Structure 1
Amino acid sequence: MGLQDIKKRIEKAAILVGRDPQNAQLIAVSKVQPNARVEDVLQQGQRIFGENRLQEAAGKWPDFKNKYENIELHLIGPLQTNKVRQAMELFDVIQTLDRPKLAKTIARIAEETSACPRLYIQVNTGAEPQKAGVLPEDADGFVAQCRELGLEVEGLMCIPPADEDPAPHFAMLAKIAKRNGVVGLSMGMSGDFETAIAQGATYVRVGSALFGARAYKIN
């Protein structure tokens, strides 16, 4: 499925629930994709991309950012505190803010540099022990803590359990966002982004449906 097909599906899903399609943006998830595939999508006009790993992104995106204007790069994978400075220099948006130590590190470096990426808090809506993110019952407190540190929280992000209906998880995230005065919702991936848009997603993260199967390296 190509870029234009995905965008048409996003537009249709938004219109179906009375939303402005401009308020549901596509993040092209380019992790583990060959540069040629990424550049093909760039040449078609896509400018918002998501990466899971800092090291991979650092080897790919500085050159693309020099070549193409207005790229918006999102970190959608876990961030170690010792990599925060590098991440803040490379990414325009960090979507995986999920613990106090990380928030404090971002706040300290933001104060030092007078610059900070846009920030999304990851919420572990399924309370899965193997998955990052604050628990739903802790989300309100963590939003408040981030704000006390001087961080502006633009939105929330979630990855629902793979074996569950995602709709209740998206609805939960939207409810947490609303009561905290947070406008951004990053939710929905290749298999469920239309459901996410129906629940208010402002960003959907689409990888395999756009790029095809990921080219994982075999050791």
Structure 2
Amino acid sequence: MKILLVDDEALARQRLLRLLARLRPDAVLLEASSGEEALALLVREQPALLLLDIRMPGIDGMEVAARLDTLAQPPAVIFCTAYEEHALEALRHQAVAYLLKPVREAELARALTVAGRVNRVQLEALDGGMPVGRTQVSSNGHRGIEALSIAEVRCFIAEQKYVLAVAPQRELLLQEALKDLESELVDDFVRVHRNTLVALNHVRRLRRAADGSWFVELDGIDQSPQVSRRHLAGVKLRLQQR
């Protein structure tokens, strides 16, 4: 797999390259310091994934993204930027993630997982195959094994060593890690906070409180999980992509 990183700031580029090397040690990592250089590498190397800064001299990141449709096999796109206000424009270019600098390793890992899913779905579509995902979660409690359909779950909330699956009139305590659930259910759930995943199809709306904090309202349950500032742009992007 080839990954192209585009950023005009050398220090930011080197930091992301180190993270990518840890997270995807088998990938071929390419780098460009300008939009012009990126366009040439896109044609010559045909990377599967593009990590793209937005504000650059000359051809900026949005202009690069706008030209991807001219490629026979356009890459999945992850925007990495210091600015929140470009999230909706990123949506128009079908970005799979929108990360705020300084990019954290855990956030990049999640974005790479989403990008990998996008690429696999594209390949399966070309082959005529249909991806099969997980359909339920289960817990072995004092009443025996209890199962809950993923379709019923509104959110997963990490609580110490456990994860609480919340559905209308029902909750189930799981002995699973939130990051593992996120990896398996990345197409249908989005992380809104370090300890919370919510089901995209059950989001009624994002609500901004008087103090400026954000919450997500879900159908069928009273809980309205808080959306952290770091995750807000990415959450808005995923909701627009529904």
TM-score by shorter chain over 0.5 = no
Return the structure number with greater helix share: 1
RCO higher in structure (CA 8 A, sep ≥6)? 1
TM-score, normalising length from structure 2?
Answer: 0.29
Return the structure number with greater strand share: 2
Larger Rg: 2
